[in-house]
Amino acid sequence: MSFSFFTLLYKEIVQFFRNRGLLLFAVYAFTLDIYLASTGIDLTLKNAPFYAEDYDLSYSSRELLSRFPPPYFRFKGYLLSDRDVERVLLKDEAVGVIRIPFNFEKNLKRGDRTEIALIVNGAEVSSSYLFSAYATQIIYNFVTGNFFRPPIEVVPRVYFNQNCSSKLFMAYSELMTVITLFLLLLPAAAVVLEKERGNIEMLTVSPLPNIVFMVAKSVAMGLIVLSFSAFALFFTVERVVSVPFRGSELDFLLLTLLYVFTASGLSMFIASLSENMLQVSQLTILLLIPILYLSGNWTPIEAMPKLLQWLSVLSPLKYYIDGALAIAIKGVPLKELTSDIAALTLQGGALFALGNYFMVRRI
Amino acid sequence: MRPVECENLRITYRKGKTVAVDGLSFTVDSGDIYIFIGPDGAGKSSTFKAVCGVLRYDSGRLLTFGVDPNDDRAFEPVKEKISFMPQGLGQNLYKRLSVEENVNFFADLYGIYGEERERRKELLLKTTGLWEFRDRPAGKLSGGMMQKLSLCCILIHKPELIVLDEPTTGVDPVSRREIWRLLYSFNREGQTVLLSTSYMDEAERGTELLLMKSGKSIVSGSYDEVVSTTSPVFVVTGKEIYRVYRELWKITNTPRLKGDTVRVVVPQSKLSDFRALQERLGFSAEPVDPELEDLFVERVGLRRVELPPLFKPAVSVPEEAVVVDRVVKKFGSFTAVNGVSFRVKRGEIFGLLGPNGAGKTTLIKTILGLYRPTSGRILVAGKPVGRGVKKLIGYTSQKFSLYHDLTVFENLIYWGNVYGVPRDAVKLTVSQVAPIFELDRFLNRLVSELPLGIKQRVALLSALLHSPPILFLDEPTSGVDPVERDVFWQVIRELSKEFGVTVLVTTHYMDEAEYCDRVLLMNRGKAVALGAPRHLKEELRETLGDAYLIYTDSPFETEEFLKERGFKTALFGRKVKIYSKEPVTESLLRELGVLFRALKPSRITMEDVFVFRVLENV
């Protein structure tokens, strides 16, 4: 008996492109979604509204306040009492208030000790955090620049992403999230559709070994995701979001190919447990979230509790992100990423084999 | 005011792209039992939904109790007078509520409380035999019981018009007769019944019928008026029946080979040719009363199909092609197949007959190795099912298992490949067979756009590409019109008789037994009867006697009366079917004091066999 693997692949790919809903979702995810995530979600401070409670009203105090410029800050005016401070913070009219005491200038010039209060609206978690960090830095620079020079100077130099632009990170991280989502979803959806329509029984009765059928499915879906990733990389990320890509695109896609095996193995698990599309979507979300959490994509792994740090070894996305970001942002060639490749191969081989095995067993 | 008046009704879907009902006119009078008959996709459901104001019609004139259902506000009060039961088993039931809770819920819905509710509930549940199951969850009832409960739920508020969409499809013949009896008893109280079915043999159970195909009415009127106007119908028997059958095709396009007889409608102009042929071949031809199928066939015309020898299997199988030996299949505590044994001979057409839930599909899947039998032994082509046997099998599952988003041709290439048939070989087969199957113009169409009959042929062809010596077909003819069905059975017969292919087929159409060499009747997982259809009917005739139809204005009283006198009886609309060993004559009936309009000889059907065998076993 000879089966044409090409015919098996052709069918899967044709079916994907004829499923308009899914196709539209894929096109959206690999273009607009990545664009929105990388330009819309910003981890820098922008237009943070603030007030000043200036009791000194001196040259220096005004000079200091002028160091909080747009587009990072937006100065909204002076407040006269602590009650007003409470009011603007309660109404979320400001991220923070800077309070400058009497004799601020006098004390500075005399070299005496003085204090500046930063009253921050903690309800706005990330911007308040950034506000106090930025403000501290600005005040420090103001003081050291104008009044006295400390014995130590810190000179930061940023490699790879000189502007510390979060756009770069967000673009790649969203691309990889989308890739993961589709690798989990597509093969499982394709298998479950066959289950729902009863085609799987026909295939089981036929002499075609089920494993060949399943592998064809994973490979076809992998190819689809891979081509979409290439498109997203060359078009969405490099052209539309226009984020620099330092390494070799081929390396990036090769690493993605490796990841395809891992994730589609997991997808087969989803398929083997689901009876219908609803269950596929539920399980995909159930699986996607821990994979994302544990990958260090959202929170650095070092910042997680110990238990989660150990568990993070299990997230295949972790190795993929490690490797892919190294290629994209740092320009590391693929051959230097041996540990990530080893981990992905090991995990991928095991998951792919197990996933397909489970699937075939469950039919 | 008439319950339904309809003129030139037109209903379309997808913004006019699909026409479901096309210029349909009919009138339902008060007290009618009006039956819509037609295959799936004929437009029955759409019409019913429009009548009940569930679906908007495009144009025409439709009045339900004098009100236009498209006018939502005006129609609201009319809805109280109607009950609509949608297609499918127990669609309107809550599966987790008990039988009684379901009925209570519907009573509340229509504002029936207190004593009246209890009284009606008891009456309905007792007539349907559901009273003792009133605490059981609806989801755990059998198909027939579920359908009866659905009926109870919609009848609780005494609607004036009951609209039932295929209430008997897939229901076992015993429950089917009970459902009909229930409908008759409500009809007797003056309720009007509008009902659809895909079973041709249910036609004569109503007072009026309308035969539908592709959104149009082929014929309508009362059964006797409608069905008696055709050319003469003959049942032909004789030696070399297959040759006779072939020759008959040269005269008319209506012959149907049923067992070892041919049923044919001979147009007046061809009668002399028919007699000449009879002379030459020496067969006997008995004129019979036409049935609805004869009418359908005469109007639409059948098509002759002859297969090229392409499908002659290269491998031969042992004399006992399929052996099923005391097979039991349990799912948890539920026994789906309960100790069934049979042997299918090489080249035989073997039918598994039974209602939905009888265990036919489970049995076929167990034979194919999709389920592991709980106990028992199964051999296909002399071996347990494994890789070696799989290539000897062709299989189409209930839902036809084609890919809807692929074209016909893509499907065929794919399924060929799955059975190891190279692309070029599939192409060659398709190029030869497509004209015969009339698939040429559909090859590049998506399967989702095809009519059911075409899908069925594509599915059959896809199972035949590797010329398997054994074919398994699960409900291949469900919902397909008689012409399509005949094409299908011609192919099956040719495969079996000319090429020696063994065919195992399941169906819930009792009348399809005629097409099989032998049948196994199944009910609730058990084998009820096994044998050649003619033999089974003959056996029943020996125990029950001949069948007669009594036409009467008081069917209920007549039936009760005859029952008391020891006759076996069944209700058929305004007719009573009785079985008697002694010849029943008009004078005998008069002597007994039965009020009747006419008496006609009838025949024992496969449904009779089923009903009496099941009741015997209880």
Question: Which pLDDT tens digit goes with each residue over B451-482?
Answer: 778 888 899 999 999 999 999 998 888 777 78
End-to-end CA distance of chain A: give it in Å, rounded: 22
Residues B193, B200: Cα–Cα separation, whole Å: 18
A4/B423 CB distance under 8 A: yes
Closest-approach residue (CA) in chain A for B402: A199
Instruction: Give yes or no for B393 touching A (CB within 8 A).
Output: yes
- In chain B, what residues touch A18 (CB-CB under 8 Å)? 405-406, 446
SS3 A77: strand
Question: Please, how many CA atoms are within 13 Å of residue A238, restricted to the half-sphere of its CB?
Answer: 14
C-alpha distance from B422 to closest chain A C-alpha (Å)? 8
Instruction: State the 10-residue block means of pLDDT for chain A, 363 residues long.
Output: 85 93 93 88 78 90 87 88 88 89 88 87 82 88 79 79 76 91 92 85 86 89 94 90 87 91 87 89 91 81 83 86 89 87 88 82 70
pLDDT tier for residue B62 given thresholds of 50, 70 and 90:
very high
* Gap from A6 CA to chain B (nearest CA, Å): 10
Mutate to test the interface with A, among B364, B372, B389, B417 (most CBs of A within 10 A): B417
Is there a contact between A2 and B406 if contact means CB atoms under 8 Å apart?
A: no
Residue from B365, B380, B383, B401 to probe the interface with A (highest A Cβ count within 10 Å): B401
The Cα B181–Cα A271 span in angstroms is 47
CB distance B313 to B464 below 8 Å: no
Q: Which of B170-179, B301-310, B558-567 has the lowest mean pLDDT?
A: B170-179
Residue B420 is nearest to which of A197, A201, A207, comparing CB atoms?
A: A207
Averaged confidence pLDDT in chain B:
88
Q: How confident is the model at residue B375 (pLDDT cuts 50, 70, 90)?
A: very high
Q: Using DSSP bridges, classify how beta strands B256-258 and B208-213 pair: parallel, antiparallel or unpaired.
A: unpaired
Q: Is A198 close to B419, i.e. CB distance below 8 A?
A: no
Residue B129 contacts A, CB cutoff 8 Å: no
Question: What DSSP element (H or E) covers B28?
Answer: strand B18-28
How confident is the model at residue B194, as a pLDDT?
95
Residue of A nearest to B396 (CA): A202
Residue B123: which residues within 8 A CB-CB, separation 6 or more? none
pLDDT band at residue B51 using 50, 70 and 90 as cut-offs: very high
* Nearest CA-CA partner of B596 in B604, B605, B587: B587
- From chain B, pick out residues whose CB is under 8 angstroms from the CB of A17: none
Query: Is the Cβ pair A202, B401 closer than 8 Å?
Result: yes
- B428 at A interface, C-beta within 8 A: no
Q: Round to whole Å and give the CA distance between B549 and B310.
A: 48
Which CATH fold would you assign to the domain B4-227? Rossmann fold (3.40.50)
pLDDT tens-place string over residues B150-198: 988 988 888 899 999 988 887 878 888 888 888 888 888 889 999 998 8
B536-617: in CATH 3.30.70: yes
Cβ contacts (< 8 Å) between B418 and chain A: which residues?
Answer: 3, 202-203, 206-208
d(CA A247, CA B77): 73
For strand B233-237 and strand B334-345, is the pairing parallel, antiparallel, or unpaired? unpaired
Please state, in angstroms and rounded to a whole number, the distance separating the CA atoms of residues B411 and B457. Answer: 12
Alpha-carbon distance of A13 to B439, in angstroms, equals 25
Residue A340: φ, ψ to 5°: -65, -45
Strand partners, B234: B264, B287
Q: Is the pLDDT of residue B60 over 90?
A: yes
Residue contact B417–A7, C-beta within 8 A: yes
Most B-contacting residue of A18, A197, A202, A361 (CB-CB within 10 A), to test interface: A202
End-to-end CA distance of chain B: 46
Of A3, A19, A201, the CB nearest to B397: A201
Q: Measure CB to CB from residue A7 to each of B397, B398, B413 and give the nearest one.
A: B413
Q: Which of A14, A198, A205 sits opposite B368 (nearest CB)?
A: A205
User: What is the gyration radius of the CA atoms in chain A, in angstroms?
Assistant: 27
Nearest residue in B to A8, CA atom: B414
Helix axes B452-464, B408-418, angle to 10 degrees: 30
Architecture of the domain defined by B309-531: 3-Layer(aba) Sandwich (3.40)
pLDDT score of A51: 92
- Which residues of B fall within a CB distance of 8 Å from A210? none
Q: CB of A257 within 8 A of CB of A348? A: no
pLDDT tens per residue, range B603-614: 888 889 988 888
Residues B420, A1: C-beta atoms closer than 8 Å: yes
Q: What is the DSSP string of B312-351?
A: --SS---SEEEEEEEEEEEETTEEEEEEEEEEEETT-EEE
> Does the ipTM surpass 0.90?
no
DSSP codes, A93-155: --SEEEEE-TTHHHHHHHT-----EEEE-TTSHHHHHHHHHHHHHHHHHHHHHHT---S----
* Cβ–Cβ under 8 Å, residues B613 and B528: yes
Interface check for B399 against chain A (CB to CB < 8 A): the answer is: yes
What is the layout of strands, in order, in the sheet containing B502-507?
B393-396, B470-474, B502-507, B349-353, B518-523, B526-531
DSSP B495-527: HHHHH--EEEEEES-GGGGGGSSEEEEEETTEE
Percent of chain B at pLDDT exceeding 70: 99
Inter-chain CB proximity B387 and A207 less than 8 Å = yes
pLDDT the model gives residue B537: 93
Contact across the interface for B403 and A206, Cβ inside 8 Å: no
* A197:B401 CB<8 A: yes
Sign (positive or negative) of CA dihedral B510, B512, B513, B518: negative
Contact B420 A198 (CB under 8 A): no
B409 in reach of chain A (CB within 8 A): no
Amino acid identity, position A312: S
The CB-side HSE value for A67 (13 A sphere, CA atoms) comes to: 19
Please answer yes or no on whether A201 and B422 come within 8 Å at the CB atom.
no
Interface contact B133, partner A, CB < 8 A: no
pLDDT in tens, B199-255: 887 888 888 999 998 899 988 988 878 887 678 999 999 888 888 998 999 999 999
Q: Which residues of chain A make contact with B397, given a CB cutoff of 8 A?
A: 198, 201-202
Specify whether the CB–CB gap between A322 and A314 falls below 8 A: no
Per-residue confidence band for B25, with pLDDT thresholds at 50, 70 and 90? very high
Say whether residue A201 is in contact with chain B using an 8 A CB cutoff: yes
Using one digit for the tens of pLDDT, what is the confidence trace for B384-433? 887 788 889 999 887 767 898 999 999 999 999 999 999 999 999 999 99
Q: What is the DSSP string of A259-316?
A: HHHHHHHHHHHHHHH-SSHHHHHHHHHHHHHHHHHHTTSSS-GGGS-HHHHHHGGG-H
Sign of CA dihedral B526, B531, B532, B536: negative
pTM of the predicted model, to two decimals?
A: 0.80
| B449 in reach of chain A (CB within 8 A) | no
Q: Which helix (H) or strand (E) holds B59?
A: strand B59-64
Phi and psi torsions of B134, nearest 5° = -65, -15
At residue A200, the pLDDT reads 85
Tell me the domains of chain A and their CATH numbers.
5-41+165-362 (no CATH), 48-146 (3.40.1710.10)
Provide φ and ψ at B614, rounded to 5°. -65, -45
How confident is the model at residue A42, as a pLDDT?
A: 66
